[in-house]
Structure 1
Amino acid sequence: MSSFQSLRPSVALGAKFDNKSLWNHVKGVAIADGGGENRTWNCNYYNKKVVGSYTKVKGHLLRLTHHNVEERDVADKEAARMFYASGLPFNFARSPYFRKYSLTLANNRSGWLIIVPPSFDRLHTTLLAQEKEHINRLLQPIKDTWKKKGVSMVSDGWSDRQRRPLINIMAASSRRSMFLKAIDASENIKDVEYVANLFIQVIKDLGEANVVQIVTDNASVN
């Protein structure tokens, strides 16, 4: 067996490895003596040694049909274990954000960029703050219309599966409706004084001059 360590085959071995572009994405380890198309190589993006021809390199990197079946099976089992061990609802697999993140990982082809899942600390600090800022930027055009055309405060009460009394608060305007918050009233008596104080605080948050009406359900406390 002949050995080499360069990213691309050396000039002496170039004829045996040809000049196909995807060889740039693997590191050759050995070429079988006596001819044949099989080569031993390491993928630059996955720490795995593979024996195969250029067709296998192409299938590995581009994830073509009938290639990398073993890798896909391992990945699927790891994803399933994540769902089971963490108690994630199966519907999470249908989340467009989960699928988009997975595709970002799968389509990463640059040698210098290694994508790993965000840490616990990064999720509940930096990334959370950045996402909150992003959402606020998206909502600001809606809020800007409140001063011009007014906004309606919309509220309704309901109970969740644990029978906790919840109060939803939304803001409806000519632009579109916006969910503001859900209040757990378990520790309070939902009497007239409690509901009135709650509505007054929401009106202040929306801007007293902006609120044109309050829309609620027909519960007697309202």
Structure 2
Amino acid sequence: MESSSSAGNSSSGSVPSTESTDKGPLWEYVTKISKTSEKGGTWKFECNFCHEIKQGSYSRVRAHLLQISKQGISTCRRVNNDNLLEMKTKDTEYENIKTNAAPRDVPLPSGGLEFQNTNKKRKSDLSPLARAFDTETRTQLDQEIARMFYTGGLSFNLARNPYYMRAFTFAANHNLGGYVPPNYNKLRTTLVQQEKANVERLLQPIKDTWKERGCQL
């Protein structure tokens, strides 16, 4: 069975496994063959232990080598206990570094996280008018929205978009306890597909007239 040192060496002519864009330590235990797309981190690779050809991002490489099942890729059966311990140690160190380097919550001008924990206590000190309009909660929401603009590099012109106002007005006027906004993947897949289908449906009556009246560009 291959040792960890031999498994970590890439064969000649392969793409280097330590590119700056792929920092995961377990890349050194596979040989990259080709990138499947210009964007993203999906590669076609060969496992340096079992020599099977696989395809996927770093998460798939990790699942294959660390023998994590049900991750959309088969686990490597040629990794011995010493190899597994070595890779798990490197993986743990890498995950700890990522966790420590992650951005930390910065308190908002109104008090941020402390405001959330002491909200009930502070309400008792407010005037009847302030309690009626819940001004502190409104202030915190304004600051949360503003920080989304600042940290995301969003144009202030977005605030003039009618759908920006419409979205928050809808949320404020409906009881949506536990609601979580759509994430990155849902925005770029499910929701954009639904919007595309909706636009196509709305355009269909116009397209149907093209056969009779023709279409000019």
Instruction: Classify the TM-score, shorter chain.
Output: 0.3 to 0.5
- Which protein has the bigger helix share? 2
Q: Larger % of strand: which?
A: 1
TM-score for the superposition, normalised by structure 1: 0.39
Larger Rg: 1
Q: TM-score, normalised by structure 2?
A: 0.40
